[in-house]
Amino acid sequence: MAAALQQKINNLNKPKGSLGRLEELAFQIGMIQQTLSPELRHPVHLLFGADHGIEREGVSVSPRCITWQQMVNFTRGGGGVNMFCRQHGFELHLIDVGVDYDLSTYPAILNRKVAPHGTEDFLHGPAMTEEQCQQALAVGRELVDEVFAAGCNILSIGEMGIGNTSPSSIWMSLLLDLPLERCVGAGAGLNNAGIQHKLNILRRSVEGFYRLNSDSPTNSSTNNHVNPSQLLAYFGGFEMVAAVGAMLRAAEHRMVVLIDGFIMSACALMASRLTPSFLDYAIFCHCGDESGHRLMLDTMGAKPLLHLGLRLGEGTGALCAYPIIDSAVRMINEMGNFEDNHITKYF
């Protein structure tokens, strides 16, 4: 299939390679779908919401009430994610996997709470139990199974969870064997003092993890053998773990998975450590300004389509990139080739 796809792309009536990333995207999507004529059907955006115990340590400039307030706002169509979903024809699903608020009176929000008040504070111990981790993974798998059965073959994933740059930074540091200070940034808008406080809290949290896991390396600069499954439960948020479950299930279904900014890139990194072939199904859509995001992408060999300075989350960067992906599929299906158009092939 690889050779046939490349031949089809090379024989479109254009100079070889002249459509750059569009050609790479068309090739990738053709390989995912195992066809010379790929298509995008019924695009869906899953937005998982949950709260984080670590938020109580003052690691975010935003209070946790913003999580539930924004989830409610999404039901009214007033969020950035709503606008972009409308613009690009995505079906939006809102899923509560652990928001610290009773959202049961909002029928547009699917209730899949793993715990009613979000995760525990990982400064003092694991964010979740292994059972809760498995439950959150199952929520992601379940949602993907449902949309796949309804005809979806391209999926984007977003998140709403105040404080979730903190677990993302720790996942990045420990999975990539990088100093934590290279992975911690301003999140929703911390000043320099706030960033330093956040870094100190996360360092203490990592030290606590190693104390409780004595079989893990004790030196944070030599953590190549850290167990991704341990990190998933110890530091993850319910919305992040659900996203990892959704990503891996989507790959099983040979769906295209659109990856948004820093937090979803960290989830993609985790998914790739659990199942390395996952990256074959992922299209990285946006590089944000959060400290370390470009480094994370480079380490994964990811080439983001956009760099718009977005730091909203919600999956908005992935949605903004969709027209480029649509153009790649249209290119391979709708452009003529040299033979059919009676054009001399000149290379």
Q: pLDDT, tens digit, for every residue of 72-107? A: 999 999 999 999 999 999 999 999 999 999 999 999
Per residue in 302-336, pLDDT tens?
A: 999 999 988 888 999 999 999 999 999 999 999 98
**Chain centroid to CA 219:** 29
pLDDT of amino acid 178? 95
CATH class given for the domain over 44-325: alpha beta
Cβ within 8 Å of residue 180, ≥6 positions away: 169, 170, 173, 199, 202, 203, 206, 220
**Chain centroid to CA 81:** 14
Residue type at 248 in one-letter notation? L
Backbone angles phi, psi at 49, to 5 degrees: -120, 140
Residues 319 and 13 sit within 8 Å (Cβ to Cβ): no
Kindly list the domain boundaries of the chain, sorted by start residue. 44-325
Residues 319 and 290 sit within 8 Å (Cβ to Cβ): no
Please give the Cα distance from 302 to 278 (Å, whole number).
12
pLDDT band at 339 (very low <50, low <70, confident <90, very high): confident
pLDDT band at 344 (very low <50, low <70, confident <90, very high): low
Q: Is the pLDDT of residue 220 over 50?
A: no
pLDDT band at 213 (very low <50, low <70, confident <90, very high): confident
pLDDT band at 217 (very low <50, low <70, confident <90, very high): very low
Q: Is the pLDDT of residue 342 over 80?
A: no
- For the segment 215-222, the average pLDDT, to the nearest whole number, is 45
Please give the Cα distance from 339 to 347 (Å, whole number).
14
Cβ within 8 Å of residue 276, ≥6 positions away: none
Joined tokens for residue 71: 């989830």
Catalytic residue (one of 207, 252, 314, 339)? 314
Establish whether 314 is a catalytic residue: yes
pLDDT of amino acid 219? 40
Cβ within 8 Å of residue 207, ≥6 positions away: none
For all residues of the chain together, what is the average pLDDT? 93
pLDDT of amino acid 150? 98
pTM of the full predicted structure?
0.93
